[in-house]
Amino acid sequence: MERTGKVFNIEKFHIHDGEGIRTAVFLKGCHLQCPWCSNPESQKTGNEIVVFDNLCTACLRCENLCPQKAIYHIENRIRTNTTLCNFCGKCVEMCPTSARQIYGEDMTVAEVIREVMEDEIYYARSGGGVTVTGGEPLLQAEFVQELIAACRSEYLSVAVETCGIVSWDKMWMGLENADEILLDIKTTDPQKTVVIMPNGSDDYIGVLRNNIRKLRQKDKNVIFRCPIIPGFNDTKSHVMSVVIWAKEFDVQRIDLLPFHQFGRHKHRALGLGYVMEDKKQLQNEDMENLKSLIERADLTCIVGG
């Protein structure tokens, strides 16, 4: 049987996360739980169904239609019994306000490539390609390996975004043929890793450093990316420690990603809560100061990636 990957989104005309016009393929499942994550729907491995209360008009169409009788309401708030739901998608299709969403679909590499190739004309013109992201894409390293091989046979370049916290075997399987590796350095401080891996971060920093070292020994093109998260790592000392790592591993570029709150409605709809509500991204001037720390070390820095 053909291998499938668990995909939760394919986004066209993506202009970040690699050169040119890109199609981003989002793979579901992540073993980290960054409280600020812009894609919290990526974290669980299995399918999920959500209702955005702010969009729901409580028309009850979905409740009346569900073949599994999985939908019910409590005081005009629509809820889904996920043990009864078989993710048929009927309620999502007919919801007049797009308040219902299913996250997660099993797709073959051929199915993903078919969608990707709909925009073939733009990649060549813009120097773009495909970005594989998530969730943590390298948890599905075999699928990523096959997807990259299929992209290469269509002459498409591939960037992969990763947190870098997987075994070396998975890392290499997924990244050996990637053109660009966007490696997130969320922290260099072992004391802080519990914030992003509350269930046990073991040797987060050791695993990350070891993977970077091996990628560089194999001459892979690595770009460090630092999401700048208020109250967690928005300091000069954090950026300086990333600069020191870049020098140590001969990495030439560190991008800075300003904190945003695009994921906040999804956190709520998934019942995860959102602890970043009152956090504000750095002022432009402060971001520029962090950028200049990197540039003064003769490294390239793009804000926004």
Question: What is the binding site for ligand SAM (CB under 6 A)?
Answer: 30, 36-39, 133-134, 136, 161-163, 184, 225, 227, 257, 259-260
CA-to-CA distance for 258 and 280, rounded, in angstroms? 10
With CB under 6 A as the contact rule, the residue among 23, 80, 131, 157 that binds ligand SF4 is 80
Closest CA to 189 of 217, 222, 226: 226
Least distance to ligand SAM, CB of residue 9, Å: 11
Please give the residues from 91 up to 150 whose contact with ligand SF4 meets the rule CB under 6 A: 91, 95-97, 99-100, 134-136
Smallest separation, CB 10 to ligand SAM (Å): 15
Closest separation in Å from C-beta 207 to ligand SAM: 14
Partner touching 60 among ligand SF4, ligand SAM, none, CB below 5 to 8 Å by kind: ligand SF4
Q: Which of 54, 57, 235, 284 binds ligand SF4 (CB under 6 A)?
A: 57
Q: Which two tokens stand for residue 246?
A: 């870049």
Asked whether position 183 contacts ligand SF4 by CB under 6 A, the answer is: no
Q: How far is the CB of 177 from ligand SF4 (least distance, A)?
A: 22
Query: Could you say which of ligand SF4, ligand SAM, none residue 162 binds, taking C-beta under 5 to 8 angstroms by partner kind?
Result: ligand SAM
Shortest Å, Cβ 42 to ligand SAM: 7
Could you tell me which stretch among 60-68, 146-154, 249-257, 290-298 binds ligand SF4 (CB under 6 A)? 60-68
Which entry of ligand SAM, ligand SF4, none binds 259, CB below 5 to 8 A by partner kind? ligand SAM
Q: Is position 275 an interface residue for ligand SF4 (rule: CB under 6 A)?
A: no
Task: Give the pair of three-digit tokens for residue 125.
Answer: 């013109």
Cβ atoms of 22 and 10 closer than 8 Å = no
- Angle between the N-to-C axes of helices 204-217 and 168-175, in degrees from 0 to 180, rounded to the nearest 10: 40
- Taking the complex as a whole, the smallest distance from the CB of residue 302 to ligand SAM amounts, in Å, to 13
Strands 71-74 and 100-103, sheet pairing? unpaired
Of the candidate spans 52-60, 141-149, 207-215, 295-303, the one that interacts with ligand SF4 by CB under 6 A turns out to be: 52-60
* Distance from C-alpha of 52 to C-alpha of 255, rounded to nearest angstrom: 33
> Shortest distance, CB of residue 232 to ligand SAM, whole angstroms?
11
Tokens of 19: 């050169």
Using the minimum distance from each CB to ligand SF4, give the nearer residue, 272 or 299: 272
Nearer to ligand SF4, 56 or 293 (CB): 56
Residues that bind ligand SF4 (CB under 6 A): 30, 32-34, 37, 39, 42-43, 49, 51, 56-62, 66, 68, 70-71, 78, 80, 85-91, 95-97, 99-100, 134-136, 163
